Structure 1
Amino acid sequence: MKGIRIRPEQEGLKTSLFDLEAEIMDVVWESGWSEFSVADVHRHLETQREIAYTTVMTTVARLFDKELLGRRKDGRRYLYSPTMSRAAFTEAMTREVLNSLPPVGKDTAFALLVERVAEADSAELDRIEALIRKRREREDE
């Protein structure tokens, strides 16, 4: 993925995508489209608010440039498709953030993650413990 910057002041997809980019990726992932045109996305967004076709076209092109969408020529238009699922995108962004931290920062990030998860859901904390156990078992092999 190219040209994606983390914006920690935002939430959800908007931490790494601009508002309309995030909205379009939401539409694509929630619709389950394997292929779609700019017109498909425009029609969907138009049901919620007025938006120029050219704005949607430019934003879809940016998502292609960022490698979140693939495309192929279909006559005079392009058909686009997502290059990854929402889960894969979230994982990639999480890896990017963690890989950008200095070694000392990774300890802090992990401690904060465990603290936040423990506050929210003890079952999730159990899942993290299981992941750590599995990782250690792989190291012992």
Structure 2
Amino acid sequence: MEHFEVPTESYPISELKFKQRIGCEVVASFGYMQNDEGEWVPKGNAPHPPLQEGQHNQGEDDEQGSSSTTLDNVINRIEQLQTFVGTRFDAFETRFDALETRFGNMDMVITTRFDALQSRVGNIEEQLQHLPSASGNNPQT
């Protein structure tokens, strides 16, 4: 994560930003709604629609702007990391496919050579079987 300059939990500024308020729109975008008691619940469990834009406290504007900028930066860095990792995996997959092809070719070559050797051994064994019978027919002097 440091490679893409994504702040971690131990980074002092991150600790402060984790405590910032998240705007109603952000929470609603995750599929939550505010119920009558003001608690955020999943959309299926809430009787009322989510708060509309502009219904949040006025003091949240500055915090929301800074947190959305931070969120945008984190999302951009995550996308960069995803691209970086994806590229590495694509290269790995290409190399793996090349190795798989080479091993497949080697298997075919080895099988062909083994079959040829097996055929030769069979021919030699057959010739050896005929050899004693051929020597038995020759008169000895």
The normalised TM-score by structure 1 is 0.25
Larger Rg: 2
Relative to total residues, which structure has the larger strand share, 1 or 2?
A: 1
Give TM-score scaled by structure 2 length.
Answer: 0.25
